Amino acid sequence: MIIMNLELNHIYGFENFKINFTYPKKIIDSLIEEEHLNGRERFRYKKVVILMGANASGKTTLGKALFGIFKYIETGNETFLFEMCSDTSANITMDFVNEGYILHRISIDIDINLKNTIINYQNCEIEKMDSYEKCAAKLVDHTSEAQASPLALSNLVGPIHYRFSYPEVNSSVNTAGIDKQELLKTLRAVIGTLDPTLADVTISKDLENAYIIHRKGKGIIIQDGQILNRDIVSSGTAEGVDAAVFLAAMLSKESAFYYCDEHFSYIQSDIEQKIFALMMQRIGQNSQMIFTTHNTDMLDLNLPKHAYVFLRKKKENDHFKVSAISASEILKRNTDSVRSAVENDVFASIPDDSLLDELDKGW
């Protein structure tokens, strides 16, 4: 699953929101390899996106919205759509590539009062010399086929593979589909880096589908994707378990789309950068990862400017609107610094701290 373009209106806190995952110009000697559809070099997409923004700007919510859309495509269950609406009517439009050389576009109008959805579906074949823009201009309507049954859209799109992890709404560490030996190796490396008391990580002989992280003293038990004795685990170690499972999933090539949200709030910056680099190295062909973070040290990575996308929340006509801007839209020169632009709030992504200033003046 590769997302090319997403538009949301009245979905959670997003109104007339658009985020695009294409880029116009091939980057020479980029650290991100094969940032195009395999066999279609002109069909370029952002393979790795570092998504940044202030608190409550929508980073986690964007992941929730994508998760709901994916579940709807898989199951045809409209409940996943109704739960996301922030008004009586809402709209979702998404362009994406899944299996093969087909560009898909789904557009869904949602009516909460009537508990009804109207879906429009288009697709077209991606030819050898096509770009995304060229394909988008020649999409052909196949709505009647998509409306034939609740699972018709899923059959047209094909099986989709994805992994989402956003701690704010999901504390599980789902180990399904991950190679067990790969997970053991990754847990040992990540937890051993974060916790010097680590002795070993083993598969439990007594508990079904369970792993034990042995430390000096008590062990940490992970069973069916849950840390059973969470009360003895530090926040940093718990995040380390989540990050290790996510990385092991990528090493197992268990999915094609990854959304990794805020797994490193309690982990040192240099460790976050190291684990991110490992994730980036292991993204396969025709895969995509969105990685959210508050860590400004990530701005120093030698990545293309288009890899950095910022969410900003600004007040317009008595309500707040979230928008997305790619660093490459503003920073056109090779010498332009993403860090410098962020520090000077070029992307309007730094939180307004004027209320704290007022508090300081009152003391």
Tell me how far CA of residue 33 lies from CA of 5, 117, 279, 287, 297, in angstroms: 21, 39, 13, 11, 22
Q: Are residues 76 and 126 in the same domain?
A: yes
Structure tokens at 271: 């460790």
Q: Given a cut of 50, is residue 169 above it in pLDDT?
A: no
Pair 194, 256 in one domain:
yes
Is 294 among the domain residues? no
For the stretch 134-167, pLDDT in tens is 999 999 999 999 999 989 999 999 999 999 987 6
- Choice between 46 and 54, residue whose per-residue pLDDT is larger: 46
248 and 342 in a common domain: no
The answer on 191 and 116 residing in a single domain is no
CA angle (123, 128, 131) in 5-degree steps: 60
**Is 82 a member of any domain?**
yes
Which tens digits make up the pLDDT trace of 57-70? 889 999 999 999 99
Closest by CA to 23, choosing from 299, 329, 276, is: 329
Tens digits of per-residue pLDDT, 319-353?
788 999 999 999 988 889 999 999 998 998 887 77
Orientation of helix 235-251 relative to helix 269-281, angle to 10°: 10
Question: Is residue 56's pLDDT more than 90?
Answer: no
Q: Do 61 and 187 fall into the same domain?
A: no
Where a domain ends, among 233, 255, 289? 289
Is 297 within a domain?
no
Same domain, 227 and 338: no
Q: Specify whether 139 is located in the same domain as 199.
A: no
In a domain, 66, yes or no: yes
Q: Are residues 150 and 10 in the same domain?
A: yes
Same domain? 236 vs 342: no
Q: What confidence tier does 306 reach under pLDDT thresholds 50, 70, 90?
A: very high
Band of pLDDT at residue 170, cut at 50, 70 and 90? very low
- Does 119 reside within a domain? yes
Shared domain check, 133 and 179:
no
Q: Tell me: do 147 and 108 sit in the same domain.
A: yes
Residues 199 and 323 in one domain: no
Q: What is the mean pLDDT of the chain?
A: 90
In a domain, 103, yes or no: yes
Tell me if 292 sits within 8 A of 261, measured CB to CB.
Answer: yes
The model's confidence at residue 110, banded by pLDDT at 50, 70 and 90, is: very high
DSSP H or E run through 168: none
Number of domains in the chain: 2
What is the model's pLDDT at position 359?
A: 67
At 239, the pLDDT band (50, 70, 90 cuts) reads: confident
Does residue 282 surpass a pLDDT of 60? yes
Q: Of 7-16, 22-31, 74-83, where does mean pLDDT reach its minimum?
A: 22-31
Q: What confidence tier does 360 reach under pLDDT thresholds 50, 70, 90? A: low
- How confident is the model over 185-234, as pLDDT tens digits? 999 999 999 888 888 999 999 888 889 999 876 788 888 777 888 788 88
Of the candidates 263, 289, 315, which is a domain's last residue?
289
The per-residue pLDDT for 149 is 92
Structural domain span for residue 226:
165-289
Residue 298 lies in a domain: no
Alpha helices per DSSP H over the chain: 59-75, 79-82, 132-136, 143-146, 152-157, 180-194, 235-251, 269-281, 327-330, 338-343, 354-361
191 touches 111 (CB < 8 A): no
**Residue 220, beta-bridge partner list:** 213
- Residue 111, classed as helix, strand or coil, is strand
Give the pLDDT of residue 309.
97
For residue 178, pLDDT over 90 is answered with no
Question: Taking a C-beta distance cutoff of 8 angstroms, is the pair 65, 15 a contact?
Answer: no
